[in-house]
Chains A and B, each alone.
Chain A
Amino acid sequence: MRLKQIELSGFRGFKNRTTIPFARGFTIITGRNGSGKSSICDALEYVLTRRLSRFAPSDVEGGEHIDDYIWWRNGSHSSTREVKAVFELDDGTTGERSATPTSISSTFEERLFYDAASYPPDPLSLLSQTMLIRDESIVKFSTDLPEADRFDFFYRAIGLTDLARIERRANSLLRQLKTESDSLEIEYRKRREAVAQMISEISEARTVASQTTAPDMAAALKRLADLTESPSDAPLRQLVQKSNRAVAEQKQRAQALERLNTSLSQSVNWRQQLKELETKRDQVKVEVDTARLALEKAADARIDAANRLRTAQARTPHLSALAQLKEYGSRINLQEGRCPLCGSLISPTDFDAHLRQIQSSIETQDRVLSDLTTEEANRSAQYDKLRSEFQAKSIEHSRALSDCETLLSAMRQLENEAKTLGVKLDSRSIEDGSQRTRNRLAELQSELLQLEGSSALDRIADLEKQRVIAQAEAERITRQIDLLSRAAQDAKSAADTTKRVSWESVDDCLAALSPLLSELFLRLKPHVDYSEVRYHMRGDVKRFLSFEIGNGINPRFIFSSGQRRVLGLAFLLAVHLSRPWCKLPTLVLDDPVQHIDDYRALHFAEVLSSIRQLGHQVICTVQDSSLADLLCRRLRSADLGDGVKIEMVYEPGMGATIKSMQSIEPLPDRILLTA
């Protein structure tokens, strides 16, 4: 992957959209102060991370922060605000990654920037941090940076922040577990002190009890054991509880006997009442039987009358036909001496006699039916009357039976109660039972009173109860402390192990880095007398990373400011060249040779050329145009890709812009020697 170009619009010193192309080989950007060189480097960082790390979060002045100055704000507004980086991907296609004030977007996957199988946490931040070497970071990482901060920088740069976070978690966990454990220890000591105090008080109370009330207590305990049928060695608390239950039972029994006695006195008249009720019941029974007989007779009479009526009605079914025939005969009269009904010859006299005979017969039969109907109605009315009387008597009889049964039931209940209470159903037996119960109750209460009256024993019981609770609580806390202790031990072990692994990793990384650092130090030659540099790590709680040149000499106090910068640059280049996870082999240097003399600037150019020979794309901004020319001459190569030199300028009101752009062609082929 290579960086192909970056477009800046309204970003930092660029007001108008400006495209900065990057050659595959190298790009040298030159220009005076404020011409936009650093803004280009800012844009590269911003498009990867959306922040500018050279400004600390705490870097606030007048309430303003770098975030307020990321986008163009010099007078008139810029139409758009965007940074877009274009990359040449490994498959030959291009991909874009854009950042605006509110978002980042990309046309390709972020993982193309790094080895997906093995990459550090927050890889794009680390990529940006190690790709971009700026004057600020050179100064920071020169020996001017405190040793502890230098260690932290390296720690982050090699991607060990995971372990740092785990170590911090383990230490935080350890602190919290210890705090909890300390609290529990205090609580445990309190409980144990309480238990000890209670044991002491129980002992004292026992002594007091044995000295003052021992004989009475012994007798009371024995008596209560007898009364409650408990073993003689029953625990005190159990015996007292059982005795209290016995008192309650005896009280209930006394009340029951009293109720029974009252009921018995009320039942004196119950037998006389029962006799009367039974007499009444029997009388009503006779009346019911009489009524039933009368009703049965009435029923028979009614049936008889009904049968006779039906028989009579059955005998005269043609009565109405006869009446109709007689009606027709009377109206039609004889027809030529013949009967109009049967056609026989008959005299008028006989005919009239026949008609009168028929009329008489009709009237006779009608009278008979009328009488029978009247009789049947009378019999029915009689039956209904007797049935009502019978029903009334039956109800009266049922009531008499019920009254007898109720009274008998009450008497049986009384007998059962007496049986339950173990007495006979007579006032004397009940009175005897009541007396025995009262005596037993009084005896129980008396013995209990004697026990409960002893404050020493009462206190012993209370203390014993409290001691058991406190002891159980203390044991629970002990178990908790044991658990916490195990957890804290493991947390400490985890924290220590994490720290060891972390430091071993740093050691390993530094050891791996050391030959490269030495080589770069030798190549950049910050000091003529010292050609070797070594690193040292020290500190147990906080780690420090320091350099040593010669025999135990700290370069911080020997090197000039420029020489210290060269050392810082050597270290940053070493870190940059040691990232096997990084898939973007682009080195960006932002004015790295400030305060460095010509001699060492030449070494710097030679080092950049050596880095180019590794296949890295190099982008470097310098203020000095002659240094830019030197770099262009030294970095050009036919084999390692083309180059470009860009001169930037600041135009008032318009911001940074490209003044000139020159393609750096490879040098002529061999001029002295031929293959």
Chain B
Amino acid sequence: MRLLEEAGNVLRKHGYLLSFLHEDMLQFEDDTLLGFICELPLKSILESWTNRQDEFLKRNAISLRNSALKSWNLYSVFISSDVPDEIEQREVVEIEEDFRATRKIVQTGITTASEITRALYPFIPIQNVAAVEAADSLRKLQERLSGLPKDAVTVLLDERISEDSLPTIFKEAHETKTD
């Protein structure tokens, strides 16, 4: 799998315009964000990320100057399937924490499409929106209590009956067992 092509697919799916600058580099833009993605071996990223950034800035200098506000939302994204060692990881963090010119994102060890998607999280909506439903729990409880006398379950669930008077009514429900 070519990581860069997959990354392009993800961004395109979410409304970004794309164009390849090189075989290993593409630029993207939507109404808020813009930037480029480079797929490189990790070593190359660590050695030449500034070159790639500068190349992109020079190439688009006029446009970026003309739209200074949008230029604040400029991203340099580097992706690699290589897994960094501890020293390389430290260098990766340093690149990401360098706020000069562009916001840098360096994602390493990427081998799957879902990892590509995760790498591009800053550009796409929340993906795993959950529906946490607790409303059905009461119905589930009633089903589980179906082995008990029906009247007893009714009085237990009826919160209009005070806890003080509950034992008497609960016992009566057992005396007049209806199920």
A610-B152 contact, Cβ under 8 Å, with A483-B174, A638-B31:
no
Q: Is the CB of A671 within 8 A of B174?
A: no
Is B31 touching A637 in the complex (CB atoms < 8 A)?
yes
Interface residues of A in 494-528 (CB under 8 A from B): 494, 497-498, 500-502, 504-505, 509, 512-513, 515-516, 518-520, 522-523, 528
Any chain A CB within 8 A of the CB of B48? no
Complexed CA–CA distance, A580 and B132 (Å): 7
Q: Residue of B at shortest CB range from A163?
A: B137
* Proximity string of chain A (525-565) to chain B, C-beta cutoff 8 Å, 1 when within and 0 when not: 00010000000000000000000000000000000000000
How far is the CB of A180 from the nearest CB of chain B, in Å?
A: 7
Give A512 to B131 CA distance when docked, in angstroms.
7
Nearest A residue (CB) for B103: A602
Query: CB distance A490 to B134 under 8 Å?
Result: no
User: Which residue in B97, B148, B167, B174 is a CB contact (below 8 Å) of A494?
Assistant: B148
Look across to chain B and name the residue whose beta carbon is closest to the beta carbon of A117: B135
A493 at the interface (CB under 8 A from B): yes
A670–B134 CB distance below 8 A: no
Count of inter-chain pairs, beta carbons less than 8 A: 192
Contact call B89/A669, Cβ cutoff below 8 A = no
Minimum distance in angstroms from A461 CB to a CB of chain B:
36
| With A633-B72, A671-B63: A490-B149 Cβ-Cβ less than 8 Å | yes
Q: Which residue of A490, A520, A673 contacts B19 across the interface (Cβ within 8 Å)?
A: A673
Knowing A165-B159, A639-B31, A667-B69 touch, does A610 contact B133 (C-beta < 8 A)? no
Quick check: is A134 within 8 A (CB to CB) of the other chain? no
**Counting CB contacts under 8 A, is A455 at the interface?**
no
Structural contact, B171 and A483, CB atoms closer than 8 A:
yes
User: Which of A484, A512, A522, A599 is B171 in contact with, Cβ under 8 Å?
Assistant: A484
Q: Determine which of B135, B138, B152 lies in contact with A487 in the assembled complex, contact meaning CB atoms within 8 Å.
A: B152
Within 633-675 of A, Cβ neighbours of B (below 8 Å) are at: 633-634, 636-639, 666-675
- Are B135 and A581 in contact (CB-based, < 8 A)? yes
Decide if B34 touches A672 in the complex (CB within 8 Å): yes
Please pick, from A163, A172, A606, A672, the residue contacting B63 in the complex, using a CB distance under 8 A.
Answer: A672
Instruction: Select the stretch in A86-94, A154-162, A351-359 that faces chain B.
Output: A154-162
The one of B60, B127, B159 in contact with A672, judged by C-beta atoms closer than 8 angstroms, is B60
Chain B proximity of A24: nearest CB distance (Å): 16
| A515 to B135 CA separation, bound complex (whole angstroms) | 21
Does chain B have a CB within 8 A of A491? yes
A299 interfacial contact with B, CB 8 Å: no
**In whole angstroms, what is the CA distance A445 to B97 when docked?**
120
Could you give, for residues 109-149 of chain B, a 1 whenever the CB lies within 8 Å of some chain A CB and a 0 otherwise? 00000000010011011111111111111101100110111
Q: How far is the CB of A583 from chain B (nearest CB, A)?
A: 14
Alpha-carbon gap, A493 to B153, bound state (A): 11
Q: With both chains docked as a complex, state the minimum distance between the C-beta of A589 and any C-beta of chain B, in angstroms.
A: 15
Interface segment, A35-43, A200-208, A571-579?
A571-579
Q: Contacts A501-B137, A505-B137, A606-B122: A519 and B127 contacting too (C-beta < 8 A)?
A: yes
Tell me, yes or no, whether B163 is within 8 Å of chain A by CB: yes
Q: A497-B141, A671-B67 are in contact. Are A580 and B128 (CB under 8 A)?
A: no
Residues of B with C-beta under 8 A to A599? 96-97
CA distance A578 to B15 in the complex (A): 25
Please give the number of chain B residues whose Cβ is less than 8 angstroms from any Cβ of chain A in the complex. Answer: 62
CA distance A503 to B122 in the complex (A): 35
Taking the complex as formed, is B83 at the interface, i.e. its CB lies under 8 A from any CB of chain A? no
CB-nearest residue of chain A relative to B15? A639
In whole angstroms, how far apart are the Cα atoms of A670 and B67 in the complex? 10
Q: Determine the distance from Cα of A186 to Cα of B129 in the docked complex, in whole angstroms.
A: 58
- Chain B's nearest CB lies how many Å from the CB of A197? 31
Interface flags, A300-342, vs B, CB<8A=1, else 0: 0000000000000000000000000000000000000000000
CB of A120 within 8 A of chain B? yes
Say whether B50 faces chain A, with CB atoms less than 8 Å apart: no
In the assembled complex, the Cα of A634 lies from the Cα of B122 at a distance in Å of: 11
Q: Which residues from chain B contact A522 at a C-beta distance below 8 Å?
A: 118, 121
**Which of B73, B97, B133, B152 has most A Cβ within 10 Å?**
B133
Dominant secondary structure of chain B at its interface with chain A: mixed
Task: Tell me which residues across on chain A come within 8 A of B130, comparing CB atoms.
Answer: 512-513, 515-516, 574, 577-578
Q: Is A613 a contact of B66 with CB atoms below 8 Å?
A: no
Question: Does A404 reach chain B (CB closer than 8 Å)?
Answer: no
**Is B27 at the interface (CB under 8 A from chain A)?**
yes
A324 CB → nearest B CB, Å: 115
| A669–B31 CB distance below 8 A | yes
Q: Which of B56-73 contact A (CB under 8 A)?
A: 60, 63-64, 66-67, 69-70, 72-73
Return chain A residues, CB-CB under 8 Å to B101.
Answer: none
* Nearest CB in chain B: distance from A628 CB, A: 13
A668/B134 contact (C-beta < 8 A), A166-B141, A490-B174 known: no
A-side contacts of B31, CB under 8 Å = 637-639, 666-667, 669-670
Q: How far is the CB of B92 from chain A (nearest CB, A)?
A: 8
Give the distance to chain B from A442, nearest Cβ to Cβ, in Å. Answer: 57
A577 close to B133 (CB less than 8 A):
no
Partner of A169, one of B19, B93, B136, B163: B163
Is the Cβ of A518 less than 8 Å from the Cβ of B29? no
Which residues of B are found within 8 Å of A580, using beta-carbon distances? 131-133
Given A670-B17, A673-B17: A516 in contact with B89 (beta carbons within 8 A):
no
Chain B residues with CB under 8 Å of A172's CB are: 163, 166
What's the minimum C-beta distance from A231 to chain B, rounded to whole angstroms? 42
Do A158 and B17 touch (CB < 8 A)?
Answer: no
The CA of A276 and the CA of B108, in the complex, are separated in Å by: 153
A609 at the interface (CB under 8 A from B): yes
Chain B residues, CB < 8 A from A247:
none
| Complex interface: chain A residues within 8 A of B15 (CB) | 639
Instruction: Give me the interface of A with B, judged by CB distance under 8 Å.
Output: 118-120, 158-160, 162-163, 165-166, 169-170, 172-173, 176-177, 180, 483-484, 486-487, 490-491, 493-494, 497-498, 500-502, 504-505, 509, 512-513, 515-516, 518-520, 522-523, 528, 574-575, 577-581, 598-599, 602-603, 606-607, 609-611, 613-614, 630, 633-634, 636-639, 666-675
The 4 closest A-B pairs by CB, nearest first: A613-B125, A515-B128, A578-B132, A673-B17
